Amino acid sequence: MSRGYRELNVLPPAAFLEPADFATSYDHQPDYAARQHALGVLTSLQAVSVSISCSGTWGATLSNGVVTSSEGIGYHAHTADLLRGFLDGPAPVIVHRWDGPAGGTVIKPRTCPKCGKAVAPGIQVFNGEDCPQVWQRA
């Protein structure tokens, strides 16, 4: 089902934890679905954070800049797969709403890419290890 931005932009941040709810009537290309999911995971692996803006488009903060997109989650084809990739990746996902907190709402914290456990803010990989038990403060 395709929805307009007016409807999508009033959804609460927690709604984005259910990617299947953002499927569109244009989601009928399995190869593109797989590419969108892979892009979501890759973006998350490279990002400090992934954001969904008040207008429903996505972006990512990287260590050396930002990436912005005109793709609206739940509006453009296979953005549900992209969102699933963001949620499967390690970067925190932040949803911004006009009536929400200024910094947005974190719907998924940073997680360890190997074990999937939540990682406290300010923690980064130490000595190439991938599990939070051996991570240390930045």
pLDDT at 110: 85
Domain ranges of the chain: 5-110
pLDDT tens-digit map of 56-72: 999 999 989 999 999 99
Nearby residues of 110 by Cβ (< 8 Å), 6 or more positions away: 90, 91, 92, 118, 119, 121, 123
User: Model's pTM, two decimal places?
Assistant: 0.85
Q: How many CB atoms lie within 10 A of CB 68?
A: 11
Give the residue-averaged pLDDT of 33-55: 94
Q: 72-87: b or e for each residue (b if 16 or more CB lie within 10 Å)?
A: bbbbbbbbbbbbbbbb
Between 2-11, 26-35, 94-103, the lowest mean confidence (pLDDT) is in 2-11
pLDDT at 88: 93
Q: How many CB atoms lie within 10 A of CB 101?
A: 11
